[in-house]
Amino acid sequence: MEDDILIEQFLRNTLSDEEHTSFLARMESDASFKEQVRLEEQLLHTLGDTYWSFATNDTHKRVQAYKKVLGSAETKQLKKTISAAITLYKNREVTTQKPSHIFKLRFILKIAALFVIFFSIFWYFSKDEKIDYASLTTKAWNKQVGLDFTLRSNSSDSIKMSLEKALHFYTHKKYDSTLIVLEKYPISSNQYKDVLLMRALANYKLQRIETTFSTLDSLQTYSPDVANWYKGLIYLSQQNHEKAALYLVIPSEPDQEIKLKK
């Protein structure tokens, strides 16, 4: 065990100078110890990953025997044959590569043709499946969201009457008249949000976009969903899908409908 530790320390180069000298002296005088050291060194270098155990004794009987075989005419011929075989194989590879390239080119062309056919078919069928945003938008406008105030309110006051009148003008495309009817209604009114909505829509129809949006901003305080719905629809009518998508869920399939983004 002591020798084992000593040999290990020698092989790992951790002996002190004094220990190292004494170790080498022992190797010189003790053949069996020397053999053990050499064997352990060879094991470490052969079975470890870091090194390789080299032979260095060219007078060794076995080395000499191999040298004799290696120096023979037969082995010299063998070397030539090996080298020639590899060259031949490589040359064959070069000549057989041409058809292989042609094959590859044909294959690529076939794939490309298939791709074009597939794409054309897909395009042909998919064009009918395109989403008609214009008709979806019209459908959404026709829902007349928020314009059911005549049903919602039971009051018989002047505001309700004015709103009904305004809606009548609006549906008959008399947008200026709509605005005139709803000109003087205070914030404190219960149906002020309906007034704002009618004003906003009439202004939109009159192409007063800035006023429309500022009116819808005012409506936002009372009826955020309605205000957002119309903001979204106006952007969609302007084909500004990016901004519309801030307020609405834009359909990704033809059979879907526009919805308010919650």
Tokens representing 140 are: 């959404």
* Residue 38 makes contact with other proteins by CB under 8 A: yes
Q: How far is the CB of 14 from other proteins (least distance, A)?
A: 12
Residue 146's Cβ-count burial label (10 Å; 0-12, 13-18, 19+) is: buried
* Residue 246 makes contact with other proteins by CB under 8 A: no
CA distance 14 to 35: 20
Q: How far is the CB of 136 from other proteins (least distance, A)?
A: 58
Judged by beta carbon, residue 53 or residue 138, the one nearer other proteins is: 53
* Residue 67 makes contact with other proteins by CB under 8 A: yes
Selection from 76, 107, 126 nearest residue 254 by Cα: 126
Residue 56's Cβ-count burial label (10 Å; 0-12, 13-18, 19+) is: exposed
Judged by beta carbon, residue 77 or residue 239, the one nearer other proteins is: 77
Measured CA distances, 154 to 143, 151, 222, 236 (Å)? 22, 7, 19, 34
Q: How far is the CB of 99 from other proteins (least distance, A)?
A: 18
Residues in the interface with other proteins (CB under 8 A) total 49
Going 215 to 221 to 223 to 225, the CA torsion angle's sign is positive
Judged by beta carbon, residue 84 or residue 116, the one nearer other proteins is: 84
Only one of the segments 38-46, 118-126, 190-198, 254-262 lies at the binding site for other proteins (rule: CB under 8 A); that segment is: 38-46
Q: How far is the CB of 81 from other proteins (least distance, A)?
A: 5
DSSP annotation of 248: E
Residue 26's Cβ-count burial label (10 Å; 0-12, 13-18, 19+) is: middle
Residues numbered 82 to 121 that lie near other proteins (CB under 8 A) are 82-86, 88-89
Read off the amino acid at residue 80.
K
Q: Applying CB under 8 A, which of residues 25, 66, 116, 152 lies at the interface with other proteins?
A: 66
Q: Applying CB under 8 A, which of residues 16, 17, 28, 52 lies at the interface with other proteins?
A: 52
Only one of the segments 33-41, 104-112, 117-125, 202-210 lies at the binding site for other proteins (rule: CB under 8 A); that segment is: 33-41
- Helix or strand run (H / E) with residue 88: helix 73-128
Q: How far is the CB of 63 from other proteins (least distance, A)?
A: 5
Q: Applying CB under 8 A, which of residues 14, 81, 171, 239 lies at the interface with other proteins?
A: 81
Q: Which residue has the tokens 């192409």?
A: 207
Only one of the segments 55-63, 97-105, 144-152, 216-224 lies at the binding site for other proteins (rule: CB under 8 A); that segment is: 55-63
Judged by beta carbon, residue 35 or residue 148, the one nearer other proteins is: 35
Q: Which residue has the tokens 């129809």?
A: 205
CA distance 73 to 77: 6
Selection from 167, 165, 146, 168 nearest residue 157 by Cα: 165
- Tell me which residues touch other proteins (CB under 8 A): 1, 4-5, 12, 35-36, 38-40, 42-44, 46-58, 60-67, 69-71, 74-75, 77-79, 81-86, 88-89
